[in-house]
Structure 1
Amino acid sequence: MRILTVAPYPPSRDGIGDYAAALTGAMSAAGHEVRVVTPRFATAAPAEVIGALAGPREGGDVALRRVAAFAPDVVHVQFAVAAFGTGVPALLRFIAEVRAATGAPVVVTAHEVTRDTAMLRLPGRLLYRRLCAGAARVLVHTGAAARALVDEVGVDAARVAVVPHHRRPPPEPAVAPGELRARHGLGDARVLLAFGFVHVDKGLDDLVAALAALRARRPDALTGVRLVVAGTVRPRSGAFRAFEARDRLHLARVRRAIAREGMGELVRFTGYVPEGEVAPWFGLAEALVLPYRRIEQSGVGSLAAALGVPVVASRAGGLAEDFGDPRWTHEPGDREGLAAAIERLLARSPAEAAGRPPRRAAGAGLDEVARSILASYHAVTSAPTREPHAQPA
């Protein structure tokens, strides 16, 4: 089968791009041909990338000609508003043009339905309605996302399918955990890890406030403990820089709160984490902390599960069910509940920590996810309403 993927893609720093690349690898290993069109032109892109929707040397017209020559059997769009930003109108035009030129059905994986529609409200719902109108099948990662598409956006339930986020191992480590400890002055501290892009829904402000409350109540509770914030604000473009500015303001407020509470020695900020340092950070962490206010699915939680790292999680978006231990969960925004969860985790004895391994994450292996997605491809490509390929001009 010839598969065209439209998505962010390495070397772009994007979780959806990593997801798309992993899926491309699984499809290619199964004998399928995969080509990729990205939102923006990037130098040093892998060979399977045949075009971009925008860039200094390429644009939708160039990509469309290459796609028509490839003649895909199916087009798979890996979508979130943040992934395409100001390129969303170009994406919608491109999808329509590809359908007209090739007759290939479109499958959309909607990665952040609930977050996008909550953040953008009516414009977000209208955007998803338009995007899904041209899709033969819409894939989501959770039942909550499926319900949002059907009940709030108005997508026909028969065209929506749930495919869990895949579990996959992290990139190969390039440094030892001890090197990271030395670089960031951690010594032999117990590390609580907040990992990934920093944004307002992630609850970093709740986490800092919870740690301050815990320290005020029990001054010895955080002795020898450090919070590592391993990540930075996601860069945006065009009008979506307003969201970047909002996240940077959020980060500045968190830093001010840290200074106000006298917690500068407790918290370490690393900035962006290269691939080769992902596994080492998880390897030295006592626990991953996911105090989200709002979320749909978490690749970071999957990494923690794959590496056997305990997770302190809010109950937003099913995080607690997917990754958390009931002892270390809390309601979104409940800072006292988060403080108590962290206190319980840190109070474990070594024997207790060793005797009760972390839960295995919900979701599925990459090959299982690839098979589910292939089943969707076969369903839509065998549908009698499919149009024949148009001949490239």
Structure 2
Amino acid sequence: MRVLHLAPYPPARDGIGAYARVLAAALADRGHETAVVAARPHPSSPPEVLGALGDPGLPEKIARFRPDLVHVQFAVPAFGLRVPAVLRLLRELDAPVVATLHEITRDTALLRAPGRLLYRRLASRCAALIVHTRDARAAAGSAELIPHFCAPPPPSTTTSDALRARFSLGSAPVVLAFGFIHVDKGLDVLADALRHVDDAMLVVAGAVRARDPLFKPMELRDRRHEREVRAALTRHGLAHRVVFTGHVPEAEVAAWFATAAVAVLPYRKAAQSGVAHLALASRTPLVATAVGGLPDLFSASGSATEPREAGEPSRGLLAPPGDAAELAKAIRTVLDGGGHPLQGLAPGPEEVAARTEALYERVLAGAV
């Protein structure tokens, strides 16, 4: 079948875009023809991108592609001011629409009634919805639960030794906070916890997400959050133990997870986390807070589980959100080789593509 993906898309810096690219490639490997409408134009867009939302010739390009089905990878920050254009395009298309709701719990909690109304309007234009977690399915009302796939990052063009030398990390264990800096991600709690993990270096590998003008207050809030965290680190004499890398090129992601002794997700709110799945795929130990779908990554009883691959499984622990002391204790336990084995790896892109394909077929058969 011919599948048109509507999503932020590389080289744009967006985790949902990276997800869309991997899924589109996995569907292509299964024999489907895929094309992409990107959220925003980019001069270096790959050949599968027909154009971006708002391009004058886009309707004709879509008509020439003749999609059997349209798949939207949706979150409000991913499209920003272009959300109305998404809804307009979906209304104009003849093909049935499937939407994956990546951040429905976060979006509706932040935007409240307008956010719920937006998601109802999106759902009214869709034949089926996909979510990654049970919390998201409860928020969506009715949706297919297909877990976020677990795929390793691309091979790195650098090494752990090179990163340690470039950022003056020495031989200290690295605590990695990866991804966009966002007030809900609890970087301030992690900075506070660092006071109780005195032999480690904290690497904040990411930057504040740039946003469209309508959402600029959220970007400014996140930038203020980063400034406050940096000020607190200086106040507590910890600034020399923290590295802010800024945006991490895709070709260096694997090296950062290989360098990390533990990846930490100190989130206050979360639906799910692509960062967690990068850690799992990289076999990097993980500490996370018990919010959203993150507890599903851990053994429910805390007892050992068999990893999908041979060898010692990565180890991890959950901590309560907002509790720096408990977060520090979990980090210390994992650094010392403790913690519980993580659950087996989540489905790979091939399995997620197969399950997505099965949903497409039900949609096209009118069985959804």
1:342 aligns with 2:343: no
Q: For 1:186-225, what aligned pairs fall within 5 Å after superposition? A: 186-212=169-195, 214=196, 221-223=197-199, 225=200
RMSD: 1.7
- 2:50, 2:320 → 1: CA distance? 45
> 2:116 maps to what in 1?
125
Unaligned runs of 5+ in 2: 303-315
Which residue in 2 is equivalent to 1:332? 321
Q: Which residue of 1 aligns with 2:312?
A: none
2 CA distance for matches of 1:161 and 1:245?
35
Give aligned pairs, total.
354
Which consecutive segments of 4 or more residues in structure 1 shift more than 3 A? 323-327
SS of 1:262 mapped into structure 2:
coil
Q: Against the structure 1 CA distance between its residues 310 and 384, is the aligned structure 2 distance closer, same or farther, given a 3 Å change threshold? A: closer
Equivalent in the alignment of 1:217? none
Secondary structure of the residue that 2:288 maps to in structure 1? strand
SS in 1 for 2:53: strand
**Mind listing any 5+ residue stretches in structure 1 that lack a counterpart?**
151-156, 215-220, 386-393
Give CA-to-partner distance per residue, 1:282-325, whole Å, 9 cap, x none: 11111001110001111111111111111011001131331589
Secondary structure of the corresponding residue to residue 209 of structure 2:
coil
Matched, 1:75 2:59: no
Question: Which residue, out of 279, 288, 293, partners 1:318?
Answer: 293
| Among 104, 107, 120, the residue aligned to 2:98 | 107
Question: Within 5 A, what are the aligned runs for 1:40-79?
Answer: 40-54=40-54, 59=55, 61-79=56-74
Separation in 2, partners of 1:235, 1:266: 26
Structure having the larger proportion of residues in helix: 1
Q: Within 5 Å, which residues of 2 pair with 1:158-307?
A: 160-212=143-195, 214=196, 221-223=197-199, 225-307=200-282
Q: Is the 8 A contact 1:313 1:323 kept in 2?
A: no
| Residue of structure 2 in register with 1:364 after alignment | 347
What SS does structure 2 have at the residue aligned with 1:23?
Answer: helix
How far, CA to CA, are the matches of 1:228 and 1:281 in structure 2? 9
CA contact (8 A) 2:319 2:327 kept: yes
1:68 Cα deviation after fit: 1.4
- Secondary structure of the 1:364 match is coil
Larger radius of gyration: 1
Pick closer, same or farther for the CA change 1:324–1:245 going to 2, 3 Å: farther
User: In the alignment, is residue 382 of structure 1 matched against residue 345 of structure 2?
Assistant: no
Offset of residue 241 of structure 1: 1.4
Match of 1:29 in 2: 29
Which of 234-243 and 196-205 deviates more? 234-243
TM-score normalized with structure 2 length: 0.92
> In structure 2, how many angstroms separate the alpha carbons of the residues matched to 1:73 and 1:36?
13
Tell me, in whole angstroms, the C-alpha distance in 2 between the residues paired with 1:93 and 1:362: 38
1:138 aligns with 2:133: no
Equivalent residue letter for 1:238: P
Could you tell me how far apart the structure 2 residues matched to 1:362 and 1:242 are? 37
Report the CA distance between 1:270 and its aligned residue: 0.7
Higher mean C-alpha displacement, 359-368 vs 201-210: 359-368
Q: Give, in whole Å, the separation in 1 of the partners of 2:204 and 2:18.
A: 21
Matched letter for residue 111 of structure 1: H
CA contact (8 A) 2:281 2:345 kept: no
Secondary structure at the counterpart of residue 156 of structure 2: coil
CA distance in 2, matches of 1:384, 1:320: 33
- TM-score between both structures, scaled by the size of structure 1: 0.87
Q: Distance in 1 between matches of 2:34 and 2:103?
A: 24
Equivalent residue of 1:317, what SS? coil
